[in-house]
Amino acid sequence: MELLVRRAMRGEAEAFIELMEQTKPALLRVAYGYFKTDADVADAIGETILNAWEHLGELRKPAYFRTWLTRILINNCNRLLREQRRVQPMDVLPEPAGVWDSTESNLEFKELVESLSEKDRVIFLLYYGEGFTTKEISRTLDIRENTVKSRLKRGREQLRRQLVQTI
């Protein structure tokens, strides 16, 4: 991936497109952690791709591309959420389509993760869904690593309590 990043930083559009294709599933999972509708997710990802292309030259270390791109996505998601809160009340939103498998166990897991607070849910998705380390998450979200660890612990405890109640 680092070679693709270097090529994209030199202005090779094909390399950038390949990078976006490789990171698309991860971007979708993170965006669906914030939004429930396909349109909102598409807006956030579209803005992220545009921002990444425009600012790719500002990336200092190609090895941190994935973290850098995820940070851009999170910033865009937060900005879009702020705009939506100003414009319209949050009504019951339809289920997202296409990201989560429709198997029963995946739907149950999705419901459990969606029950977490937004802050905990994003950290859970980055840690368990995308394989980020607590250190990477702390840099990406600009919070202390101990905060990441405590939110992971709190989220696990909340999920454990919910699972015990359903048994």
Long-range contacts of 3-11 (CB under 8 A, 24+ apart): 5/59, 5/62, 5/65, 6/62, 8/56, 9/56, 9/57, 9/59, 9/62
User: Which residue bears the tokens 């250190």?
Assistant: 135
Average pLDDT of the chain, as a whole number: 82
Residues 89, 102: Cα–Cα separation, whole Å? 29
The better pLDDT of the pair 52, 86 is held by 52
CB contact burial 27-66 (16+ within 10 A = b; e otherwise): bbbbbbbbbeebebbebbbebbbeebeeebeebeebebbb
Please give the angle made by the CA atoms of 104, 108 and 109, to the nearest 5 degrees.
Answer: 115
DSSP letters spanning 83-104: HHHHHS---PPPPP-SSS--SH
pLDDT for residue 100 is more than 70: no
Q: List pLDDT tens digits, range 2-54.
A: 888 889 888 889 999 999 999 999 999 899 888 888 999 999 999 999 999 99
pLDDT for residue 98 is more than 80: no
Identify the pLDDT of residue 85. 76
Identify the pLDDT of residue 91. 45
Domains, the chain, ranges and CATH? 1-99 (1.10.1740.10), 100-167 (1.10.10.10)
Residues 6, 10: Cα–Cα separation, whole Å? 6
* From 36-45, 91-100, 105-114, 132-141, the region with the lowest mean pLDDT: 91-100
What DSSP state is assigned to residue 58? G
122 falls in which pLDDT band (50, 70, 90)? confident
pLDDT over 90 for what percent of the chain? 30
